[in-house]
Structure 1
Amino acid sequence: MSRVEQSTKLDLERIVFIGRSFEEYLDMFSLSKEELEGKKILDCPAGACSFTAVGNKQDLDVTAADIAYYHSEEDLRNKGLQDIEHTMELMEKAQSNYIWDYFEDIEDLRKHRLSALKNCVNDMRESSERYVPVTLPSLPFKDAEFDILLSAHFLFMYADRLDYQFHIKTLNELLRVTKEEIRIFPLVDFEGKRYEHLDKLISYLADNGYTVEEVKVPYEFMANANSMLKIKKG
């Protein structure tokens, strides 16, 4: 199936194209740039995050994967601008659900989101090979192709739409393409509640020989979203 044929099957309106900054990623995943040097890294799903764009400018080896990348940069830029404004309107009404330490206020948050979108879309235009369209739970990569895989704001957040079997299938696929470890953030749904099947999922991973750890991180914007799951292979 060609990229054009595939894109007709994806409704851009169903994709929220908003991203976080490189600095947010380091804090969300409790990482330093030094820890990532010399590693092959996959960000999945990456959305409009600038982690790939900024990381590669800092000599890191980062690839981004997302269902959104079946669409053109221009369409994604326009969608991202709309999504940021829509999200900021909702944030005005729900400010009390968030902790305003990382960002000063909604205007500061808007600037960060716009900056991430700009960096992402510009890098897509300049280095399109880094942005791979995927439809989870399937990835077009080789076994153990990446050393580290980072996955933010997807799996557990959409627990109301993605069932436990989808989580297991997706995790197995993420583990297949990863050599060393996976980090997933956050561990809560959109209401800030811990993913209801998390303990069951951790037991499943442990039974299959993985080392799993819940780690508190130096990042909390949405209340209770301040932990990640670290899954180590071997």
Structure 2
Amino acid sequence: MSAAEQRTKLELERIIFIGRTYEEYLSMFSLSFDELKGKKILDCPAGACSFTAWGNQAGLDITACDIAYDHRIEDLKDKGKQDIGHTMEVMESAKGNYIWDFFRDIDGLRKHRLSALEDCTAHMRKHRSRYVPVVLPVLPFENEKFDLLLSAHFLFMYADRLDYQYHIETLRELLRVTKDEIRIFPLIDLEGKRYEHLDKIIDYLTGLGCIVKEETVPYEFMINGNSMLKIRKNNYEG
């Protein structure tokens, strides 16, 4: 194996390639198909989610971006299967931290995650341009390119690794490429606690002229993880 191949393999090992289904997205972000029609949508970061695949096949205009998309599709699919297998093993001892209304049980969760992975990678093979490699907090898109931006299971969840300044820089970049609205889900960290600087973030965004609301959504898998942040640009001054 060459040095470049070894470096690529190491970079891929650092990525967790797991995704949610299209149905989960509608529930997580309290959206309907009709609300999405006619809008340019960015899923950031999208991972192995099938939202882009199913949405575009249904006639929506969705672009996905993620640091993982710089890798070969087959490598991503293999990594996704490994990550799902490992996650299911961990879930066995942590079932009490979750609400099982949506998935019923761990086998149901596994099927959803494998389905999302299969749909995502299959769509990626045919429509590679819809899957853009990025490294936040920088995005390779023009100003206000998208009407709606959805961001799931990233920013506030990893508060132990991503500090407040990183959140601010990323949010400003998300606002730059978005014309109307950003929705972020969930608002808790990996321990199920509300992100400690969320009120400070809301005050900061409000000060920029945004209308910011915390809203309860129909989806709850992690206990306490049933809220999203809705950010409308309104009189935004970036």
Normalised-by-shorter TM-score class: over 0.9
Unmatched 5+ stretches in structure 2: none
Q: Distance in 2 between matches of 1:72 and 1:213?
A: 38
Mapped to 2, the partners of 1:30 and 1:162 lie a distance apart of: 26
Q: Map 1:148-227; keep pairs closer than 5 Å.
A: 148-227=148-227
* In 2: Cα distance, 1:200 partner to 1:134 partner: 27
What whole-Å deviation, never above 9, does each CA across 1:186-223 have from its counterpart, x for those lacking one? 00001100000000000000001000000000000000
Measured in 1, the distance between the counterparts of 2:65 and 2:17 equals: 13
SS at structure 2 position matched to 1:149: strand
CA gap 1:9/1:205 in 2 versus in 1, 3 angstroms? farther
Aligned to 1:144: 144
Percent identity of paired positions between Structure 1 and Structure 2 = 71
Structure 1 segments (4+ residues) deviating >2 Å? 7-10
What does 1:2-81 correspond to in 2, within 5 Å?
8=8, 11-81=11-81
| Amino acid paired to 1:58 | A
1:109 — aligned with what?
109
Change (3 A) 1:10 1:184: farther
**What corresponds to 1:87 in structure 2?**
87
The alpha carbon displacement at 1:9 in A equals: 9.5
Code of the aligned partner of 1:41: I
Q: Name the counterpart of 1:118.
A: 118
Query: Structure 1, residues 74-105: CA drift from partner, whole Å, max 9, x if none?
Result: 00000000000000000001000000101110
Deviations 1:102-161 (A, max 9, x none): 111000100000000000000110000000000000000000000000000000000000
Code of the aligned partner of 1:129 = S
Aligned AA (2:126): E
> Structure 1 CA distance, aligned partners of 2:208 and 2:64?
27
Deviations 1:53-75 (A, max 9, x none): 00001000000000000101000
Aligned-partner Cα distance in 1 for 2:9–2:130:
22
Alpha-carbon spacing, 1:28–1:104, altered in 2? closer, same or farther (3 Å): same
- Cα distance in 2 for partners of 1:108, 1:170 equals 33
Q: TM-score, normalised by structure 1?
A: 0.96
1:100 maps to 2:100: yes
Distance 2:166 2:15 in 1: 18
Distance 1:136 1:145 in 2: 17
Q: TM-score, normalised by structure 2?
A: 0.95
User: C-alpha distance in 1, partners of 2:51/2:138?
Assistant: 22
Q: Does 1:135 align with 2:135?
A: yes
**Which runs of no fewer than 5 residues in structure 1 stay unpaired?**
none
Q: CA deviation at 1:14?
A: 1.0
In the alignment, residue 67 of structure 2 is paired with which amino acid? I
Structure 1 residues 198 and 158, CA gap change in structure 2 (3 angstroms): same
Aligned with 2:42: secondary structure? strand
Q: CA deviation at 1:10?
A: 6.8
Mark the CA change 1:73 to 1:191 in structure 2 (over 3 Å): closer, same or farther: same
Q: CA deviation at 1:8?
A: 4.0
**TM-aligned CA deviation for residue 172 of structure 1:** 0.2
Going from structure 1 to structure 2, the CA distance change for 1:197 and 1:8 (only over 3 Å counts) comes to same
